[in-house]
Amino acid sequence: MTVFVALLIIGVLVIAHELGHFLAAKANGILVLEFAVGMGPVLFSRQFGETRYSLRLLPIGGFARMAGDEGEGEDTYVPEHRRFDKKPILARALVSAGGPLANFLVAVLLFAIVFMFVGVPSSAPLIGSVKPDWPAAAAGLMVGDRVLSISGVPVEDWQDVQTEIVARPEQQLTIVVERNGETLSVQVTPRIEETSGRAQIGIGPSIQRFSFLGSISMGWQETVWFTRQIVQLLGSMITGKIPAEGAGPIGLIVMVGQVAATGVVNLLTFAAIISIQFGLFNLLPVPALDGSRLVFLAIEAIRGRPIEPEKENFVHFVGFVLLMTFMVFITFKDLQRLNIF
């Protein structure tokens, strides 16, 4: 089940990435010859319209093969206005960036789903849940109570509530709450929760759900925030401030399984973060990645003419070989971490 969930998530992100290229190509009138999920030998293939859709053996990526994306080749029969290499630089740049942009869009949508349907803990000092057989329940605290103060200390948000409770383990607290317009005072003595080792009374925050537009806005903000954090982390790795670490397909499957066991919210959030990482990774100026195609297009715009297709294709081929070598290496490291090798 863990492998299935992990492959499903990775598959969805790969399909979204290639769909970004596919739709951008279609929007610019480019003929897409094949839309493939996976790499290597073909497991299943079917022609629909002018595009062949295929599923391949190795679940490590995918591609949208367009007429003219490798220069002059066997698809020279395709009219020039349908070829990638004959389109203006801006159109080709949009097609190349379409995959990463789709990954960022998926991240926004995944975060939005969490905000709209699942909700997130509210910062308001409002009790959203009361655990049975805990001090709060015994003292008569109820869902919907708004905490005003704890042992004389006013609270303004849920963080204040947690801070005051954790700071007074096994000490009797006087909690003042507002309920249906009335002010009530109760006596509660926190106890240590075994899993966290912290003083708790058995209450949780209220859950806040957002409207559709509000969820999209929050999803965008979360995507921007995580993107900045990942870029800063990559920068620290490149400069040697922190050790360079990563995970390959096997490590990713293990992590997805671990996160899935903690709940749907964490799984959706983790999937959104992976989607952001996919988008950023493909924007790196590394041969065979979308970022390198954008670099070649920028060079073409500066020099006024494209680099010879043979030279560009050779650079991408070398980059692909190096990426596959790196993939093998990082997969081996994943196996070592799992004590398989």
Residue 34, beta-bridge partner list: 52, 65
Contacts of residue 256, Cβ cutoff 8 Å, sequence gap at least 6: 2, 5, 6, 9, 10, 267, 270, 271
Nearest to 249 by CA among 315, 190, 326, 313: 326
Tokens standing for residue 245:
């670490």
Catalytic-role residue among 18, 164, 222, 312: 18
Can you say how many angstroms the Cα of residue 138 is from the centroid of all Cα atoms in its chain? 41
Q: Where are the beta strands (DSSP E) in the chain?
A: 32-48, 51-66, 120-121, 127-130, 146-150, 153-154, 173-179, 182-188, 191-192, 199-200, 203-205, 207-208
Tell me, yes or no, if 156 is annotated catalytic.
Answer: no
Q: How far apart are CA 161 and CA 336, in angstroms?
A: 44
Any idea which residues carry the catalytic annotation? 18
